[in-house]
């Protein structure tokens, strides 16, 4: 049986294990323990799915609990995918967020997944990776 719980104290090692066991490990700094620790320390809503005590899924978010919850990581181990764990993690995140909307950027492999579970696609998203990329008008 899968148990879901808010665990804002999830260890970096368990988080890395779930990332590596999912497709998300390819796009996260799993070899940089200090950065992973910082990612966890600065998230304020972490929902974990456990099976027999082992973390098999994680939803890591930043939220104001009023307007916006940014779901940064939704990872489910490959052996546990297609069992509804991701949907439940997302649902538990939304419940814990209160009236805040849940917003996420999809991994390429999951682009088709989110509309199937009821999320609305939004075409107005922008990413800034470095301040050097900014272009100031009239300069």
Residue 9's CB is within 10 A of a number of other CB atoms, namely: 8
pTM of the entire predicted model: 0.92
Q: Residue 18 in contact with residue 58, Cβ under 8 Å?
A: yes
pLDDT band per the 50, 70, 90 thresholds, residue 11: very high
Q: Answer with the residue of higher pLDDT: 114 or 56.
A: 56
Domains of the chain from N-terminus onward: 2-133 (3.40.630.30)
* Strand, helix or coil for residue 135: coil
- HSE, CB side, 13 Å, CA atoms: give it for residue 98: 6
pLDDT of residue 127: 87
Of 108 and 101, more confident: 101
**In the block, residue with structure tokens 């620790």:** 37
First to last CA, the chain: 59
- pLDDT tens-digit series, residues 119-130: 999 888 888 999
User: Under a CB-based contact definition with an 8 Å cutoff, are residues 59 and 73 in contact?
Assistant: yes
Cα torsion at 39, 62, 116, 99 (round to 10°)? 170
Whether the predicted pLDDT of 45 surpasses 90: yes
Question: What is the average pLDDT score of the chain?
Answer: 95
């Amino acid at each position: 049986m899968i148990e879901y719980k808010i665990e804002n104290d999830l260890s970096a090692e368990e988080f890395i294990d779930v990332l590596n066991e999912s497709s998300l490990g390819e796009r996260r700094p799993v070899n940089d323990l200090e950065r992973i620790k910082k990612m966890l320390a600065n998230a304020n809503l972490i929902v974990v799915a456990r099976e027999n005590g082992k973390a098999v899924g994680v939803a890591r978010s930043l939220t104001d609990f009023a307007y916006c919850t940014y779901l940064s990581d939704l990872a489910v181990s490959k052996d546990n995918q297609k069992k509804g764990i991701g949907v439940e993690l997302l649902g538990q995140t939304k419940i814990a967020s209160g009236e805040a909307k849940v917003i996420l950027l999809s991994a390429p492999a999951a682009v088709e997944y989110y509309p199937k579970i009821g999320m609305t696609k939004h075409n107005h998203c922008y990413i800034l990776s470095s301040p050097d990329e900014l272009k100031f008008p009239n300069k």
